[in-house]
Amino acid sequence: MPDYKLLRDLELRAPQSQDEWAEMFQLRWSILRQPWNQPPGSEQDELEDSSFHRIALLPGAGIVGTGRLHITEDGSAQIRYMAVREKYQGMGVGQRILNSLEAFARSSGIRNIRLNARELAQPFYQSQGYEIVCKSYVLFGVIQHITMQKNYDLSPGNR
């Protein structure tokens, strides 16, 4: 159930300082890589500079969530590195980040968004309208991923 007070206070935007970029990467690493003994730096890739980033900031708590979207060579988009601090999971933070990334994609004329969801996150993405395409890779030998996608009708009146 979303926490409406928390969501009202939540600010969504791109990182604006070196400190915010560092905090965003630290959050990604601590949630998506550290539990599997992956080194700092493994939470970044060569597409950072050409991607659309969103951080969720909460007064007094700093960055509580993040996500990234990049345009792929085929003209669709991919969402990666979605992470929400454990304390704030299930409160609507991830949904707000996802909605922001999707709005950017639609405004850029993107008709198809793909992502590779961890099995545990699959129900969340399905609740947001993503459909399963197929089983994908197994990360770190233990985390099954599912390729999912969402398509948009961008005809006038549906944007």
- Dihedral through CA 3, CA 124, CA 70, CA 150, nearest 10? -120
Q: Could you read off the pLDDT of 52-89 as tens digits, one per residue?
A: 999 999 998 999 999 999 999 888 999 999 999 999 99
- In angstroms, the CA 24 to CA 30 distance is 10
What tokens does 155 get? Answer: 């005809």
Q: How confident is the model at residue 1 (pLDDT cuts 50, 70, 90)?
A: low
What is the average pLDDT across 106-133?
95
Q: Are 69 and 85 in contact (CB under 8 A)?
A: no
Determine the topology of domain 4-110 in CATH.
Aminopeptidase (3.40.630)
- How large is the average pLDDT for residues 114-126? 95
Segment 111-124 shows an average pLDDT of 95
Q: How much is the pLDDT for 75?
A: 86
Instruction: For residues 41 and 52, give the distance between their C-alpha atoms in angstroms, rounded to a whole number.
Output: 19
The alpha carbons of the chain give a radius of gyration, in whole angstroms, of 15
**Which of 118, 122, 147, 117 has the alpha carbon at shortest distance from 134?**
147
Could you tell me if 97 and 65 are in contact, meaning their C-beta atoms sit under 8 angstroms apart?
yes
Whether the per-residue pLDDT at 138 is higher than 80: the answer is yes
Predicted confidence (pLDDT) per residue in 33-49, tens digit: 999 999 999 999 999 99
pLDDT for the residue numbered 154? 57
Q: List all residues 6 or more positions away from 79 whose beta carbon is below 8 Å from its beta carbon.
A: 67, 68, 69, 98, 101, 113, 114, 115
